[in-house]
Structure 1
Amino acid sequence: MISIIVTAYKEEKTINKCLKSITSQKISEPFEVLVIAPDKETLMSAKESYKKARIFKDKGIGKFAALNLGFEQAKGEVMILCDGDTYLGKNSINYMIDAFKNRDVGCASGRVVSINPKNNMLGYWSHLLVEAAHNERLKRSSKKLFIDCSGYLLGLRKGIVKELPPNLLSEDAYISHYVWSKGYDTAYSPKAEVFVKYPTTLSDWIKQKRRSAGGYHQINNYFRQDVKMRSLKNEIIKGPSYALSYAKNPIELVWSLLLFPIRLYLWILTFYDRLVKKSFKQVWQRVETTK
């Protein structure tokens, strides 16, 4: 059996599309859908959308707690995790299942696709960054190297990760590193697409990326520092050439150039957050424009 775990928070307006994108697929294995959220509006909307969904109310203290509840309740041998403000591409679930036919695979990532228009700076950045991550995952997975699996669509073999520690900023990074540390492979399923809306204001963009980058700093508290896909060093070495080559016209070239100082500012913020030991609640802020 496959357990599809959808975590959400105040996403009553988007959970319907998410669930329809899952349940409309011809899934090759028996499956169950678990929806976990702290608010009754989202849970009611989910139940109306898919009557067979197993509904669970979490304590609202963070995604780590919602996932822990899902890990505990899931009946499947493979768990597929996604967010209530995303939706899946055709056959994405089956493509994710295929990755686990290899018993060495402990977790797998789907391919993130931005739905933002590319004709403005933030939308352009979203496409640039997800394509960069896609290409890096393709390259690393072909060499059987470690990859960070995306939490937007992440498959996990049940029983490897039994519980996430509290106050994680980047649950997907923790899961990926934990699975790798236990001797399992991390895999990439590029045909398993998940469609994501990215921030439409600069302040929200910084909130989201600050939280994500902070999560990668946090990983250093748990795992070896030499096993990484993302780091400031990697961005400095690989980032500029890709960002500049991605631009297809003068405006896009300007947007690519503007990304460099913003990314540097972002990393400075995350180093500062770590230096002053900002709390989980201070760093984790809801990003409204992604809903």
Structure 2
Amino acid sequence: MSLHVRRRAPRAHWVLLTLLMLVLLGGLCLNGYVSHAGAEGDGPDLTGDTSGPAADTVTGAGPVLRIDAAGTVASRTMPRRTIALTFDDGPDPQWTPKILEVLARHRAHATFFQVGSQVNAHPELARRVVAEGHEIGSHTFSHAWLTDTPGWRRGLELTLTRNAIAAATGRTPVLVRPPYSSTPDAVTAAEYTALRQAAGAGHLVVLTDLDTEDWRRPGVEAIVAKARPAKDAGAVVMLHDSGGDRAQTVAALDVLIPQLQARGYRFTTVSAALALPPAAEASAAQRIRGHALRWAQAGSAGMSRALTALMVAAVALSAVRLAVQLVCARVHVRRVRRRARRPLRYLGPVSVVVPAYNESANIAATVRSLVASDYPWVEVIVVDDGSTDGTAGIVERLRLRGVRVVRQANAGKPAALNTGIAHARGDILVLVDGDTVFEPDAVGRLVQPLQDPDVGAVSGNAKVANRRGLLGRWQHLEYVIGFNLDRRMFDVLRCMPTVPGAIGAFRRAAVVDVGGVSSQTLAEDTDFTMALIRAGWRVVYAPDAVAWTEAPASLKQLWRQRYRWCYGTMQAMWKHRRSLVEPRAAGRLGRRGLSYLLLFQVALPLCACVVDVYGIYGLLFLPPAKVAAVWIGFTLLQVATAAYALRLDGERYGPLWSLPFQQVVYRQLMYLVVIQSTVMALVGDRLRWHRMVRTGAVAAIPHKPLDGRLTRG
């Protein structure tokens, strides 16, 4: 099928991608809400002054409160010699079982105020608590400080907890204790408002008579002392079975319970002590909602762990990649320096082939730069591939010596290249895009590695000409990093996957060996280069051979260019997939080059949208200082890497200021291109050529003077 055939690109995948990202974000937000929204440390500072205007209706009341719709408070206290041990913040897989063992050993019962998200995480512990004769009350779903939360969230916290306990135990909790609460005398007016809402939802509010503050871990003796009631009074005693190391609490129970039992005290639940009706059976709807909530919470936790592992793996792989790039760059720099000390040699006639289709904006500058080369013998063949803007006429009117124009009907770039190669006289071929301007010494420097008979192709160093504005600077930095880190690494590892169409030199024997430039993919330069390596030829990089090219000037044109590149690269990778199992040079291409492309130019970009979702999650739920530190560290690493690449290329550091802004729009465009290309490849669709509108930016590029070092003979 012709590559020029266009089908309507599928659109459903964008809807699916959006839904996937929303699901991921929703899952992460649920996990963040459970793990961070009401986590320990998010409540009031209990080590300082938390006093406020007292709620007069509660001051002096008992620890168990019933508040009616009018705000009237009725309270109850524990009978004489009756202790209601209460444990907050559980269930905890380590400490709750140990506390249950102590209670069972002393035949005591207690009330556990459990956090809904913890019940979902450990439903078997909630069932065990009920099975052993204890009762469960609500302690909100995320351990939220109800005083400082809006009314809608208070209601949500209580409802979610009720459903979670219903699903785990089959019963609906009646008792509720707000996190960070204490005795009735400590209730402020703001806290009273939260208590009224909880009571209005059908709960009895249980505060405490004796707050042991065991969460501070003051020591076993201190906990026991604070838990002893005066004389023969009854009491509700507050303890904790989660939220940290509760070894002191467990030890204190083994001391407290026998002591008070010896004085005639009984240890029972709040409801049993006050002869309250038992918790009602949960409805089927409540259980269903509770199970759905638990599955959603488990799924979100698993999703969070998976995404975190993915982030860690991506960072680790990127770090290894950067380390390999830097090491290879240093090795390549030393090679280039040794080569630079040798005088440039004349290697015979060079034929430059310029395929051109509607390149009127830049073709004159391109041809003039090639004719101005300091290489002694250069012929320029411009193949006009059916242009409609007078490209061929512009070249002919230049009347430059050594320049020929070959016209053909529009057949595509690979066909134009093969036509030019057929008309070329030299055994060294330089293939150049019609929007590229060469430095005067570029041809001479580009062909020097061909002195080695094993070298079949040489990649030059393409630079962005139109680098003004954010988009231009971003592409400039991308080119500099790609050519000075990636290509140096590929050269050292002998697996160069692409000689760019903008500037590349080829041995004619190598071109003949692979049958010329193939038209089977949209990335003809990548396909051609891979074919050369599989045929046994070496492909190297000459960073001192510089040419200037015009980059896309708008996001739309950038999308079209990168879409074609990415799709064509995937085509070439698939075409040459057998190199993964081939020996010697072909094997290096497959096991090194193709694996690198698959991992860093396909797989990681496909996962890049997850990074943005994770970033939103971090902004919503993680500590701002931590998020800022990660972002700053990542940005500084990027800047340092780009600065090193600029230094290797002899470029100024000025554009580095624009690098942090690449994280918005540009990075998203790049990974969306990979996603679109992957979908097109999977559905077996074909992509037409997208031609970029030229502005003539390369025509204004200044050239460095000739150094006169290269002479014929």
Pair in the same fold by TM > 0.5:
yes
Letter in 1 for 2:560: K
Specify the SS of the correspondent of 2:402. coil
State the distance in 1 between where 2:534 and 2:381 align: 28
Kindly indicate whether structure 1 or structure 2 has the higher relative contact order, using CA contacts under 8 Å at least 6 residues apart. Answer: 1
Q: Secondary structure at the match of 1:65?
A: helix
Q: 2:508, 2:469 → 1: CA distance?
A: 41
What's the counterpart of residue 27 of structure 2? none
Q: In the TM superposition, what is the alpha-carbon distance from 1:163 to its structure 2 partner?
A: 2.7
One of 243, 248, 251 as aligned partner of 2:656: 248
Instruction: Name which of structure 1's ranges 32-41 and 202-211 shifts more when overlaid on structure 2.
Output: 32-41
- The offset of 1:34, in angstroms, is 0.6
The farther-off stretch of 106-115 and 54-63 is: 54-63
Work out the CA distance in 2 between the residues paired with 1:128 and 1:39.
Answer: 32
Question: For residues 209 and 290 of structure 1, what CA distance do their matches in structure 2 show?
Answer: 18
Matched, 1:127 2:476: yes
Letter of the structure 2 residue corresponding to residue 179 of structure 1: L
Q: Distance in 1 between matches of 2:448 and 2:408?
A: 30
1:217 matches 2:570: yes
Question: In the TM superposition, what whole-angstrom CA distance separates every residue of 1:92-112 from its partner, at most 9, and x where no partner exists?
Answer: 000112121111110111101
Residue of structure 2 aligned with 1:149, choices 499, 507, 511: 499
Q: Determine the structure 1 residue equivalent to 2:353.
A: 5
1:20 aligned onto 2:368? yes
- Contact between 2:518 and 2:527, CA under 8 Å: does it hold in 1? no
Q: Deviations over 1:127-149 (max 9, x none)?
A: 12101211211233234343421
Match of 1:102 in 2: 452
Output the CA distance in 1 between the equivalents of 2:694 and 2:366: 17
Q: Does the alignment pair 1:271 with 2:678?
A: yes
Following the alignment from structure 2 to structure 1, what is the Cα–Cα distance between the partners of residues 520 and 408?
Answer: 15
- 1:234 and 2:234 matched: no
Mapping for residues 192-207 of structure 1, pairs under 5 Å: 192-207=545-560
Provide the rounded CA distance (Å) in 1 between the counterparts of 2:695 and 2:459.
21
Aligned equivalents of 1:206, 1:174: Cα separation in 2? 21
Structure 2: stretches of 5+ with no match in the other structure: 1-348, 581-589, 609-633, 643-654, 697-713
Q: Quote how far apart the aligned CAs of 1:164 are.
A: 2.7
Deviations 1:47-88 (A, max 9, x none): 222243121112212101101112222121110010111101
Cα offset, 1:89, TM superposition: 1.3
Match of 2:383 among 22, 36, 42: 36
The answer to whether residue 396 in structure 2 is matched with residue 47 in structure 1 is yes
Aligned residue for 2:451, secondary structure, equals coil
Q: Tell me, what secondary structure is at the counterpart of 1:231?
A: helix
Distance 2:465 2:446 in 1: 21
**CA offsets 1:216-244 (integer angstroms, 9 cap, x no match):** 1111342135352662522439x988745
Secondary structure of the 1:155 match is strand
Identity level (%): 21
Check conservation: 2:467, 2:475, Cα contact below 8 A. no
CA distance in 2, matches of 1:108, 1:15: 23
The alpha-carbon distance between structure 1 residues 289 and 52, as it changes in their structure 2 partners (threshold 3 A), is closer
Contact 2:415–2:519 (CA under 8 A) maintained in structure 1:
yes
Higher relative helix content: 2
Give the Cα–Cα distance (whole angstroms) in 2 for the partners of residues 56 and 82 of structure 1.
Answer: 15
> Between Structure 1 and Structure 2, how many residues are aligned?
285
Question: Contact between 1:82 and 1:153, CA under 8 Å: does it hold in 2?
Answer: yes
Q: Which has the higher strand share?
A: 1
Q: Is the 8 A contact 2:354 2:432 kept in 1?
A: yes
- Letter aligned with residue 26 of structure 1: D
Larger-gyration structure (1/2): 2
CA distance in 1: counterparts of 2:639 and 2:665, whole angstroms: 11
Structure 1 residue ranges without an equivalent (≥5): none
Instruction: Return the offset for 1:125.
Output: 2.0
Q: Quick check: 2:447–2:458 contact (8 Å CA) kept in 1?
A: no
Contact 2:361 2:694 in 1 (8 A): no
Amino acid at match of 1:115: A
Secondary structure in structure 1 of the residue aligned to 2:575: coil
Q: 1:163 aligns with which of 491, 494, 516?
A: 516
| Shift of residue 160, structure 1, vs aligned partner | 2.2
Query: Counterpart of 1:231 in structure 2: which amino acid?
Result: L
Taking a change above 3 Å as real, the CA distance of residues 221 and 200 of structure 1, as seen in their structure-2 partners, is same
Farther off after superposition, 42-51 or 219-228: 219-228
CA 1:107/1:160 → structure 2, altered by over 3 Å: closer, same or farther? same
Q: Is the 8 A contact 1:232 1:267 kept in 2?
A: no
Counterparts of 2:408 and 2:574, CA distance in 1? 26
Q: Equivalent residue for 2:335?
A: none
Alpha-carbon distance in 1 for matches of 2:558, 2:667: 14
Is 1:287–2:692 an aligned residue pair?
yes
**Does the 8 Å contact 2:350/2:429 carry over to 1?**
yes
Q: Deviation per CA, 1:187-214, whole angstroms, max 9, x where unpaired? A: 1111111101111111110000000011
SS at match of 2:405: strand
Q: 1:72 aligns with which of 401, 414, 422?
A: 422
Q: How big is the shift at 1:2?
A: 1.1
Structure-1 residue corresponding to 2:538? 185
Deviation larger for 187-196 or 111-120: 111-120
Moved more, 74-83 or 125-134: 125-134
